[in-house]
C-alpha cells in the first residue's frame, strides 16, 4: 500500500510537506506540483484511520435511527446524507430498533470510533449521550426531543396533530378517533394533544376512549383501527398520527370493505381517515385521505447543517429549531430560527 512516505520520497520532499499540500496549507507552488504529480502516479489516498487517530476525529457522522425500514426515517437519512456528503463527510446509518440498549451501543461506537458527530432520532426518552458530550462531540437531535443540552430539530407536533384533526373536522366528521404511538414517545403524545385541541376548537368531545395508544408501526395502526371500527358505536373518522399507523388504518378500512369517506356526510359503510405524514408507497388513490404532509428530508438537511456548523467550531448555546410540516427553508445557516 502506498503511504505518505512513498509519496514524499517520490516527490523529493518531506512527509510534512505532502500532508500540507493535501490539507491545503501554504506550500511553494513547484513543490505542490511535484506532490500532486507523485500522488497521481502512485494513486495515493491517505489512510483515514491513521488520520483520525492523529486528528482525534474522523470525517464520518453517525445517524442513529429507531427504524430504517420506516420511509419517514429513510427520508431523514437522505436529507442528512445530501448535506453531509456535500461537505465531504460520510454518513453511517445505525438502526436502533427503538431499543435503548442498541441505541446506547451505537452511541458508544460513535464515541470510540471518534466519529465527527452524531445526528440522533432518540429511541429512549433520555439517550446515553454523556460520553459524547464529555468529549465535546457535536450532537444534533432530530424529530424527537431529548433532555440534553444539544441542538434539536423537531416538528411542532401539537400543531401537526391539530391541523390533521382540523381537516377532518372541516370535512364534517364528528366522531373522530385518534390512533397514536406509545405514551413514551413525545411525538405520539404531542400529536394526540393536537387532536384533542382541534376537537375542543370545534366544540366536539375528545372522549378518552377514542384515543388509542398503539405501537407506531403498521400492525399497530391496523389492530387499533380494526378494533375501533368493530365497536358498536364506531367513529366516523380515524386520525393516524404517523405514516405507518396511517398505512395500517387504511388497510384496516379496506379489509373491512369500507369506503374511504371524503366527508362526514357519507353513510355508515364509509369512514374518514386522516394522517400526519406521507404515503410514499400507497397502492391506492389517496385523494380522500386528509393528509398533513411532512418534510422529513428537510428535517434531515436542517439537522445536518446544524451539525456541520458545530463541526466548524460554532460555539453558541444549543439551538432549538421547530420546523413546520411544510418544505424546509433553504438558504444559509439552515434558515435557522435561533
Partner DNA sequence: CCGTTAGCAGTAATCGATTACACATGGACG
Partner DNA sequence: CGTCCATGTGTAATCGATTACTGCTAACGG
Binding site for a second copy (CB under 8 A): 1, 45-50, 52-53, 58, 60, 68-69, 71, 74-75, 77-78, 81, 85, 90-95, 102, 106, 108-109, 111-114, 135, 218, 244, 247, 250-251, 254-255, 279-286
DSSP code per residue over 28-82: -HHHHHHHHHHHHHHT----HHHHHHHHT--SEEEEEES-TTSHHHHHHHHHHHH
Q: Which is nearer to a second copy, 208 or 281 (CB)?
A: 281
Phi, psi of 90 (to 5 degrees): -95, 150
Which parts of 42-71 interact with DNA (CB under 7 A)?
Answer: 44, 46-47, 50-51, 53-56
Give the Cα-Cα-Cα angle 127, 129, 132 (nearest 5 degrees): 160
Q: Which is nearer to a second copy, 88 or 331 (CB)?
A: 88
**Count of residues touching DNA (by CB under 7 A):** 28
What's the min distance (Å) between Cβ of 131 and a second copy? 8
Q: Assess 136 for contact with DNA (CB under 7 A).
A: no
Spatial distance between the Cα atoms of 196 and 178, rounded to a whole number of angstroms: 9
How big is the chain by its Cα radius of gyration, in Å? 25
Q: Which is nearer to a second copy, 198 or 252 (CB)?
A: 252
Out of a second copy, DNA, none, what residue 207 binds, judged by CB under 5 to 8 A for its kind, is none
Q: Assess 36 for contact with DNA (CB under 7 A).
A: no
Q: Assess 5 for contact with DNA (CB under 7 A).
A: yes
What's the min distance (Å) between Cβ of 311 and DNA? 14
> Is the Cβ–Cβ distance between 155 and 294 less than 8 Å?
yes
The sign of the torsion formed by the CA atoms of 159, 221, 173, 285 equals positive
Q: What share of the chain is helix, strand, coil (3-state, %, to 5)?
A: 45, 15, 40
Give the Cα-Cα-Cα angle 285, 290, 291 (nearest 5 degrees): 85
Q: Assess 15 for contact with DNA (CB under 7 A).
A: yes
Applying CB under 7 A, which of residues 10, 17, 215, 294 lies at the interface with DNA? Answer: 17
84's CB contacts (< 8 A; 6+ apart) are 61, 90, 91, 304, 307, 308
Candidates 27-35, 94-102, 135-143, 181-189 — which segment interacts with DNA by CB under 7 A?
27-35
Q: Which is nearer to DNA, 13 or 123 (CB)?
A: 13
**Pairing relation of β-strands 270-276 and 237-240?**
parallel
H/E run at residue 178: strand 176-180
Candidates 5-13, 124-132, 157-165, 272-280 — which segment interacts with DNA by CB under 7 A?
5-13
Q: Which is nearer to DNA, 3 or 256 (CB)?
A: 3
Q: Which is nearer to DNA, 28 or 231 (CB)?
A: 28
Q: Which is nearer to a second copy, 48 or 337 (CB)?
A: 48
Q: Which residues bind DNA (CB under 7 A)?
A: 1, 3-5, 12-20, 22-23, 26-28, 31, 44, 46-47, 50-51, 53-56
Amino acid at each position: 500500500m502506498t503511504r505518505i512516505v512513498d509519496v514524499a520520497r517520490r516527490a523529493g520532499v518531506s512527509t510534512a510537506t505532502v500532508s500540507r499540500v493535501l490539507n491545503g496549507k501554504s506550500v511553494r507552488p513547484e513543490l505542490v506540483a511535484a506532490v500532486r504529480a507523485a500522488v497521481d502516479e502512485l494513486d495515493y489516498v491517505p489512510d483515514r484511520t491513521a488520520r483520525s487517530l492523529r486528528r482525534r476525529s474522523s470525517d464520518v457522522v453517525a445517524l442513529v435511527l429507531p427504524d430504517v425500514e420506516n420511509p419517514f426515517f429513510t427520508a431523514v437519512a437522505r436529507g442528512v446524507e445530501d448535506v453531509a456528503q456535500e461537505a465531504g463527510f460520510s454518513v453511517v446509518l445505525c438502526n436502533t430498533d427503538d431499543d435503548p440498549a442498541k441505541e446506547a451501543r451505537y452511541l458508544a461506537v460513535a464515541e470510540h470510533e471518534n466519529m465527527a458527530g452524531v445526528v440522533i432520532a432518540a429511541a429512549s426518552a433520555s439517550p446515553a449521550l454523556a460520553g459524547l458530550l464529555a468529549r465535546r462531540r457535536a450532537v444534533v437531535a432530530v424529530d424527537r426531543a431529548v433532555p440534553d443540552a444539544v441542538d434539536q430539530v423537531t416538528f411542532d407536533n401539537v400543531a401537526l396533530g391539530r391541523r390533521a384533526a382540523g381537516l377532518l373536522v372541516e370535512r364534517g366528521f364528528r366522531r373522530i378517533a385518534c390512533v397514536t404511538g406509545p405514551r413514551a414517545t413525545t411525538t405520539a403524545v404531542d400529536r394526540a394533544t393536537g387532536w384533542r385541541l382541534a376537537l375542543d376548537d370545534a366544540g366536539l368531545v375528545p372522549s378518552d376512549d377514542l384515543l388509542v395508544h398503539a405501537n407506531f408501526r403498521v400492525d399497530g395502526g391496523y389492530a387499533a383501527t380494526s378494533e375501533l371500527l368493530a365497536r358498536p358505536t364506531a367513529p366516523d373518522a380515524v386520525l393516524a398520527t404517523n405514516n405507518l399507523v396511517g398505512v395500517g388504518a387504511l388497510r384496516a378500512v379496506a379489509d373491512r370493505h369500507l369506503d374511504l369517506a371524503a366527508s362526514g356526510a357519507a353513510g355508515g359503510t364509509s369512514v374518514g381517515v386522516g394522517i400526519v405524514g406521507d404515503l410514499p408507497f400507497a397502492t391506492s388513490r389517496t385523494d380522500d385521505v386528509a393528509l398533513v404532509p411532512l418534510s422529513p428530508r428537510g428535517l434531515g438537511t436542517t439537522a445536518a447543517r446544524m451539525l456541520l456548523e458545530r463541526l466548524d467550531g460554532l460555539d453558541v448555546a444549543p439551538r432549538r429549531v421547530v420546523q413546520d410540516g411544510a418544505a424546509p427553508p433553504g438558504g444559509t445557516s439552515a434558515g435557522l430560527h435561533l
